[in-house]
Amino acid sequence: MCCRADYKPYMPAPTSFNLALALAAALSATAALLHLAIIVGGPAWYRFFGAGEKFARAAAAGRAYPAVVTASIASVLGLWAGYALSGAGVLPRWPLLPAALCAITGVYLLRGFAVLPLLLFARSKATPFLVWSSLVCIGFGLVHLLGLLQVWPQL
């Protein structure tokens, strides 16, 4: 069969999805999983990832609120990943998709650029974690923005 001149191996139909929003979903999902890993990692992980000494001490004391807050953040990031997958065309259309994608993009970009006034007017309060996490948020926001602009006509 493979030696026939008209033989064509089976190729699945090409799927059509937006690569930027699929990448945005992967980034948000990774951040969500990292937040869940922080809960498992405990106080040392809270400290390492910049949650602050108050959270680390509360986690060490067995208090629930660091895990509840961190799990809530992970849930929101997971929801954002789902919306990005919906916008990418990987999942069916979710409710309020254009508004949600705009809001998600805006939150990432605002969180990222919010460090600028601190860097300009109170540089001593800008911790390395704050700067790095802001750069990460700007990157996530720009990937979301690129995907959003690409799919906007279809939304």
Q: List alpha helices for the chain, DSSP H.
A: 19-41, 43-48, 53-60, 65-88, 97-113, 115-121, 128-151
The mean of the pLDDT values for the chain is 92
Q: What angle do CA 23, 25, 30 make, to 5 degrees?
A: 95
The pLDDT tens digits for 90-122 are 999 999 999 999 999 999 999 999 999 988 898
pLDDT band at 137 (very low <50, low <70, confident <90, very high): very high
Residues 2-35 pLDDT 10s: 556 665 665 555 568 999 999 999 999 999 999 9
Residue whose C-alpha is closest to residue 148's, from 76, 75, 86: 86
Reported as a single tens digit per residue, the pLDDT across 32-73 is 999 999 999 999 999 999 888 999 999 999 999 999 999 999
